[in-house]
């Protein structure tokens, strides 16, 4: 059984406020049924953390990864055609974050234009949305206490903005060698964004997790401590790739006057 978040009701909006990335969202017959079944199978493969265990661990994601190994049809690679499905509905997604996270549309549009590849920012926000919905726990909060969703999304935007500036600022003579190497790697990943979008996306996500979702990071980082483990990336990439059409469709129920 997959975890759901604790939704807050917003006047004038159906379906209990913001999106819940649980099995109920993807169940049912109709278009993209095969893809939706894949997401349900994947979500059901991840066990609910036991009492006192505040989040999923890399071991629990590895359980889901075993399902992906046994059923490779569920496992999906992040691709530009699927990202295009998100970008075709970008105005609706920005309206969604404006409504539920209380973020000005002007800020959303501005951040989306900072990189020459405009898909990176909204894709980053959608992955943050998935992560804090499926894993709504922070070490400093008691179990059962709901995350401050607008604040978490603001933290994510601030993290995106900060990291982008760090990577775009020319290094000076006092910069450490590791900072310079990170900038070089970032520019290489940015250059290959259209053919390898996963690399640049997860560069931003990892920076955010390290800064604002630190408990999660301590559980899912690689032994080197620099990157998230492979299982986590495959898990969320597969949910996005198999679920983006359904998410676009269901988004209408979470917007006013739709």
- pLDDT score of 238 more than 70: yes
**0.85 exceeded by pTM:** no
Burial-class residue 74 by CB neighbours within 10 Å (0-12, 13-18, 19+): buried
Say what percent of the chain tops pLDDT 90.
28
Mean pLDDT of 135-163: 83
Name the residue ranges covered by the structural domains of the chain.
Answer: 61-253
Q: What are 189-204's pLDDT values in tens digits?
A: 666 656 678 888 988 9
Question: Which 8-state DSSP code applies to residue 170?
Answer: P
pLDDT at 155: 94
DSSP string for residues in 110-125: HHHTSSSSTTHHHHHH
- pLDDT score of 9 more than 50: no
- pLDDT score of 105 more than 50: yes
Mean pLDDT score across all residues of the chain = 77
Confidence of residue 15 (pLDDT cuts 50, 70, 90): very low
* Greater pLDDT, 66 or 150: 150
């Amino acid at each position: 059984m997959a975890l759901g978040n604790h939704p807050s009701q917003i006047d004038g909006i159906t379906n209990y406020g913001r999106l819940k990335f649980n099995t109920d969202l993807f169940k049912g017959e109709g278009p993209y049924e095969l893809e939706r079944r894949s997401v349900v199978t994947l979500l059901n493969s991840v066990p609910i953390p036991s009492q006192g265990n505040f989040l999923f661990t890399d071991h629990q994601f590895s359980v889901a990864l075993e399902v992906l190994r046994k059923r490779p049809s569920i496992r999906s690679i992040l691709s530009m055609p699927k990202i295009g499905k998100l970008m075709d509905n970008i105005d609706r997604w920005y309206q969604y974050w404006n409504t539920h996270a209380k973020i000005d549309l002007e800020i959303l549009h501005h951040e989306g234009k900072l990189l020459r590849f405009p898909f990176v920012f909204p894709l980053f926000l959608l992955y943050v949305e998935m992560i804090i919905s499926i894993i709504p726990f922070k070490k400093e909060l008691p179990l059962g206490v709901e995350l401050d969703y607008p604040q978490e999304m603001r933290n994510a935007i601030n993290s995106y903005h900060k990291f982008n500036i760090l990577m775009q600022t020319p290094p000076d003579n006092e910069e450490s060698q590791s900072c310079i190497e990170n900038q070089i790697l970032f520019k290489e990943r940015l250059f290959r964004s259209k053919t390898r979008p996963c690399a640049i996306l997860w560069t931003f996500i990892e920076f955010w997790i390290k800064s604002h979702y630190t408990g999660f990071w301590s559980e899912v980082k690689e032994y080197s401590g620099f990157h998230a483990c492979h299982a986590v990336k495959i898990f969320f990439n597969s949910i996005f790739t198999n679920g983006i059409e359904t998410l676009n469709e269901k988004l209408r129920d979470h917007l006013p006057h739709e």
